[in-house]
Amino acid sequence: MTHKQRLKYSILIVLAVLATMFGLSYLQSTGVISEKAFQTIAIVVAVVVVVLNGIMRRKVKP
């Protein structure tokens, strides 16, 4: 993986996380999910992003 590919994937991940958080916020404001469920899902999303970033960082060729 090159630095350019990592940048593209990072931008894609950021957009996906942003869409997920807006979706969760909407669901929570309409009462579909509780505050606790929102927090739990947000933490899981954050952990997944950190793991993906670590994997991508290791795959970048110098």
- Given this model, what pLDDT does residue 38 score? 94
Tally of domains within the chain: 1
Q: How far apart are CA 26 and CA 30, in angstroms?
A: 6
Instruction: Give the range of the structural domain holding residue 17, as residue numbers without chain letter.
Output: 3-59
Start-to-end CA span in the chain (Å): 9
Q: Encode pLDDT of 3-60 as tens digits.
A: 888 889 999 999 999 999 999 999 999 999 999 999 999 999 999 999 999 898 888 8
- Spell out the alpha helix ranges (H) of the chain: 3-29, 35-59
Give the long-range contacts of residues 48-52, CB within 8 A, separation 24 or more: 49/13, 49/17, 52/13
Q: Are 45 and 17 in contact (CB under 8 A)?
A: yes
